[in-house]
Amino acid sequence: MPVIRTHHYAVDPADLGRLLTRRAEVIAAIRAAHPGLAHTRLARAADGTYTDTWRWDTAEQMQAALATMPTPEARAAMSLTRGATATDAEVIDER
């Protein structure tokens, strides 16, 4: 069953371009090392914070990737964020 990991954080507007570049590097590195990362989505809320959702094909695939964290790419990307939190959830319905 698919799972998602949702990160919520703030980013200084001046750092957004660098975050997007570093986030792309994280995604590429994770996909190269671990199967199952189906898609990612970064959204900006009206309050200026970001929600970054990563969908995995299985919980086992996500846990295998998380066991290697933090990677240098992830550390570099997250160094640009403030107040980061993460939540894991099982996908029970998609349309």
**3 falls within a domain:** no
Please answer whether residues 77 and 29 qualify as being in contact, where contact means their C-beta atoms are separated by less than 8 angstroms. Answer: no
**28 falls within a domain:** yes
Q: What is the pLDDT of residues 5-24, one digit of tens each?
A: 999 999 999 999 999 999 99
**7 falls within a domain:** no
Residue 81 has pLDDT above 90, yes or no: yes
Task: Report how far residue 67's alpha carbon sits from residue 89's, in angstroms, rounded to the nearest whole number.
Answer: 17
Mean pLDDT estimate for the chain:
95
**49 falls within a domain:** yes
Bond prior to 70 in cis (omega within 30° of 0): yes
- Paired with 11 in beta bridges are 81
DSSP string covering 8-62, please?
EEEE-GGGHHHHHHHHHHHHHHHHHH-TTEEEEEEEE-TTS-EEEEEEES-HHHH
Q: Which two tokens stand for residue 3?
A: 């799972």
**27 falls within a domain:** yes
Q: What is the pLDDT of residues 45-79, one digit of tens each?
A: 999 999 999 999 999 999 999 999 888 999 999 99
**92 falls within a domain:** no
Q: What is the pLDDT of residues 20-46, one digit of tens each?
A: 999 999 999 999 999 999 999 999 999
Rounded mean pLDDT of 67-95?
Answer: 93
Residue 94 has pLDDT above 90, yes or no: no
**48 falls within a domain:** yes
**25 falls within a domain:** yes
Domain count, the chain: 1
